[in-house]
Structure 1
Amino acid sequence: MKISVIIPVYNAEKFVSQAIESALQFDEVYEVILIEDKSPDNALQVCQLFSEKHERVKLYQHPDKGNHGASSSRNLGIEKSTGDFLAFLDADDYFLPNRFEAEKELFKNPEVEGVYGALGVHYYSEKGKEQYYHLFEDGLTTVYKKHPPKDVFFGQMHMLGSFGLFTIDALTIRKSSLIKKMNILFKDHLILHEDTEFLFRLSYYLDLYPGSIDKAVAVRGVHEHNRITKVDTHEVDPAISRSLLWKEVYSWAQQEDTIPDDAKTHIKRMLRSYEIAKAPPLKKWGMVIKYLITDYRSIRSGLYNINFKYSLIS
């Protein structure tokens, strides 16, 4: 296996060394691609030291050396990658020694286009734990049981009951499949939940298989400066950010003729649910009454979403 690990780097001076070293521990990792996104701290200097010391570490910036966000940085990493497989890692997270054990076996089957696993959690500070323990606790972010590839999209859409979640830190993709079947990248204009939206489309177009889902293969590093701080402190309203996500998914689904009608209906109902949640009080109740009359499940689908408490994660 020749794996390209893509790490977008922004304001991660304290953490990126651990992320890089956790990727370099594997012989299967052909290259570690760092996309430095105009960090306000000294992350660029840290990345430069690693690229000078390790031949496998390759450092890039955007052509204008500006800040373009996680989506654009991951897209640039995909463009620069030369490995046969792609793995992603946030700069404040890290891989565990078993990260690619299941992948090495599963990818021997050419029908396997992607493998996902479980993600653990580590709190870098007491303040970070105080802020986010109610979201992550000490458990795994994982899919609760093994599903065939055809069910993964519907599970990600919250249409299979208690499905669970996987994240891009625990995902490995066959690059040729990504280019041939999808030829799509992360949406640059999504500031939050861009990885969730990407996984929705990925699970529709590619055959994704479970790897290690009962034991973490990577770790989410939680601290008070995580991007989700903006949501958690209500600098960004979570209902607004989620409605933007589902609006994007709805727009994509309407253009994709092969998506089943029941899935399109579900996506529309999820969008309506979050639009209700973000609306001002008077308008909110008007929308509730409207949908109670025309489509009760438009309201119920969002309020009873079993993964709602995770809506601030990505």
Structure 2
Amino acid sequence: MKVSVIIPVYNAEAYISKAVESALQCKEVIEVLLIEDHSPDNALEVCRKLAEKDDRIKLFQHSDKGNHGAGASRNLGIENAQGEFIAFLDADDYYLSNRFDREKELFTNPEIDGVYGALGVEYYSESAKEEYFSVFGDRLMTIYKECPPEEVFPGLIYLRGSFGLFSINTLTLRKASLLKKMNTFFKDLRIHEDSEFFFRLSYYLNLYSGTLDTAIAMRGVHNENRITEVEIKKIKPCTTKILLWKEIRNWSEEEVGMAEDIKLHIKRMHQSFEIANAPLLKKGRLIIQYLISDYLLILSGLYNINFRKLSTQLF
């Protein structure tokens, strides 16, 4: 099993060395691709020194040397990866030694396109733990039970939190499957780009569960985590969710093979976040507008009653 590990690097001078070392400890890893994304700190120089020490470490930047976000950086890594398999790692997180134990067994089956597993959490400082323990606790980020690949996409769409969550750090993909079945990799979202990717990935690819009850990688929590700021509402989370579900909705409406009830549910999710983010008076107007525009759907019985319940809970 030959794995290319892709690491977007932004403002991670203090953490990138640990991330790279954790990837290289896995004998399945043949290369680590560092995609430096015009970081404001000294990360570029750290990456250069790492690449000089080990020819398995390869440093890339965007053609204009600019900042393009994690999604575009991962896309650049996918384009340059030489391994049969692709794995991802955030620059402030790290792999555990069991990272590919289950994966190398599962991928002997050529029908398996991707494998996902469980992510643990480590607090890099006492202040980070005090501030963020209420958000992450000491829980695993994982899908809660094994399920066949055809149930992964519906689980993400309909069950959401009760189904569990993917982590980009525990995802391994067969590169040939990704190139063949996905015409677009990560899209241009600055937040939740991995979530949007997971929705489409689970629709097109056969994803299997790996190790779900034990961490195979660790999320490093510190005071400058980009996603942590969203989760503790330093950045308004509903705004970012509107953009996420707008992307998913646009994709679903263009996907001719998708069932109409799934498209309708995705539309409802997008509308729900629009309502939740609107001022009080506009909330009512939006609900009335959506009910009127979908009057025939309501009569047909296709209207998602869960949307009505959710809408009333947002006031």
The answer (yes or no) to whether the contact 2:135–2:231 under 8 Å persists in 1 is no
Q: Which amino acid aligns with 1:219?
A: M
Select between 190-199 and 179-188 the one with higher mean Cα deviation.
179-188
Change in 2 beyond 3 A, CA 1:250/1:302: farther
**2:306 pairs with 1:297:** yes
Map 1:42-121 → 2, pairs under 5 A: 42-121=42-121
Partner of 1:239: 238
The answer (yes or no) to whether the contact 1:192–1:241 under 8 Å persists in 2 is yes
Deviations 1:12-52 (CA, angstroms, capped at 9, x unpaired): 01111110000000111010000011111111111111101
- Structure-1 separation of matches of 2:166 and 2:237: 20
Partner of 2:247: 248
Count of residues in Structure 1 that have an aligned counterpart in Structure 2: 304
- Cα drift, residue 233 of structure 1: 6.0
SS in 2 for 1:158: helix
Deviations 1:208-229 (CA, angstroms, capped at 9, x unpaired): 0000001110011111101125
SS in 2 for 1:115: strand
Which protein is bigger by CA-based radius of gyration?
Answer: 2
- Structure-2 separation of matches of 1:215 and 1:269: 35
SS in 2 for 1:5: strand
Q: Which amino acid aligns with 1:297?
A: N
Deviations 1:152-203 (CA, angstroms, capped at 9, x unpaired): 0111113478211111100000000000111321002x11000000010000
Partner of 2:180: 180
The answer (yes or no) to whether the contact 1:154–1:160 under 8 Å persists in 2 is no
The answer (yes or no) to whether the contact 1:122–1:221 under 8 Å persists in 2 is yes
Extract unaligned runs of 5+ from structure 1. Answer: 305-314
- Cα drift, residue 292 of structure 1: 6.9
- Structure-1 separation of matches of 2:246 and 2:224: 27
Map 1:163-242 → 2, pairs under 5 A: 163-188=163-188, 190-232=189-231, 234-242=233-241
Q: Which amino acid aligns with 2:211?
A: S
- Structure-2 separation of matches of 1:45 and 1:289: 55
**2:122 pairs with 1:122:** yes
- Structure-1 separation of matches of 2:78 and 2:17: 21
Partner of 2:300: none
Change in 2 beyond 3 A, CA 1:97/1:147: same
SS in 1 for 2:223: coil
- Cα drift, residue 127 of structure 1: 2.6
Extract unaligned runs of 5+ from structure 2. Answer: 296-302
- Structure-2 separation of matches of 1:204 and 1:69: 24
SS in 2 for 1:7: strand
SS in 2 for 1:146: coil
SS in 2 for 1:145: coil
Q: Which amino acid aligns with 1:277?
A: A
SS in 2 for 1:157: helix
- Cα drift, residue 205 of structure 1: 0.3
- Structure-1 separation of matches of 2:161 and 2:15: 36
Q: Please tell me the root mean square deviation across aligned C-alpha atoms, in Å.
A: 2.0
Change in 2 beyond 3 A, CA 1:160/1:39: closer
SS in 2 for 1:297: helix
Identity, in percent, stands at 59
The answer (yes or no) to whether the contact 1:93–1:219 under 8 Å persists in 2 is yes
- Structure-1 separation of matches of 2:184 and 2:248: 14
SS in 2 for 1:121: strand
- Structure-2 separation of matches of 1:234 and 1:150: 34
- Cα drift, residue 237 of structure 1: 1.6
Partner of 2:11: 11
TM-score, normalising length: structure 1: 0.92
- Structure-1 separation of matches of 2:81 and 2:261: 37
TM-score, normalising length: structure 2: 0.91
- Structure-1 separation of matches of 2:99 and 2:206: 20
Select between 287-296 and 130-139 the one with higher mean Cα deviation.
287-296
The answer (yes or no) to whether the contact 1:292–1:299 under 8 Å persists in 2 is no
Deviations 1:214-268 (CA, angstroms, capped at 9, x unpaired): 1110011111101125425645321111011001000000000111112111111
Deviations 1:47-77 (CA, angstroms, capped at 9, x unpaired): 1111011111001111111111111111110
